[in-house]
Amino acid sequence: MSAEGSPRANLGFRGYTSIRRPPAELVARLAEYAPPDLSDVMRGVFTLDPAIRPTWPFAGRVAGPAVTVVVPAGSFNVVRFAMHQARSGDVLVINARGITAYSMFGGNVAKAMRRRGIAGVVVDGAARDADEAQAVGCPVFARAPTTASPPYEGTGEVNVPIACGGVVVRPGDVIVADATGIVAVPPEGAQWVLEQAAALRSRFDAMQPTLERGEVANIAAITEELLKQGFAVDA
Mean pLDDT confidence for 22-27: 97
- Give me the chain's average pLDDT, please: 95
Confidence of residue 180 (pLDDT cuts 50, 70, 90): very high
Q: To the nearest whole percent, how much of the chain has pLDDT over 70?
A: 98
In this structure, the strands spanning 53-54 and 140-145 are antiparallel
Question: Cβ(96)–Cβ(126) under 8 Å?
Answer: yes
Confidence of residue 5 (pLDDT cuts 50, 70, 90): low
Question: What is the model's pLDDT at position 2?
Answer: 40
Question: What is the model's pLDDT at position 1?
Answer: 37
Q: Is 155 helix (H, G, I), strand (E, B) or coil?
A: coil
What whole-number distance in Å separates Cα of residue 143 and Cα of residue 111? 20
pLDDT in tens, 202-216: 999 999 999 999 999
Within 8 A by CB and 6+ apart from 171, the residues are 16, 19, 20, 65, 66, 67, 68, 159, 160, 161
Confidence of residue 124 (pLDDT cuts 50, 70, 90): very high
Question: What is the model's pLDDT at position 136?
Answer: 97
Mean pLDDT confidence for 117-134: 98
pLDDT in tens, 52-81: 999 999 999 999 999 999 999 999 999 999
pLDDT in tens, 79-90: 999 999 999 999
What whole-number distance in Å separates Cα of residue 45 and Cα of residue 48? 9
Domain ranges of the chain: 3-193
CATH architecture of 3-193: 3-Layer(bba) Sandwich (3.50)
For the cut 70, the answer to whether the pLDDT of residue 3 exceeds it is no
Query: Burial level of 132, CB count in 10 A (0-12/13-18/19+)?
Result: middle
Closest by CA position to 79, among listed 54, 60, 106, 51? 106
Three-state secondary structure along 70-133? ECCCCCHHHHHHHHHHCCCCCEEEEECCCCCCCECCCHHHHHHHHHHCCCEEEEEEEECCHHHH
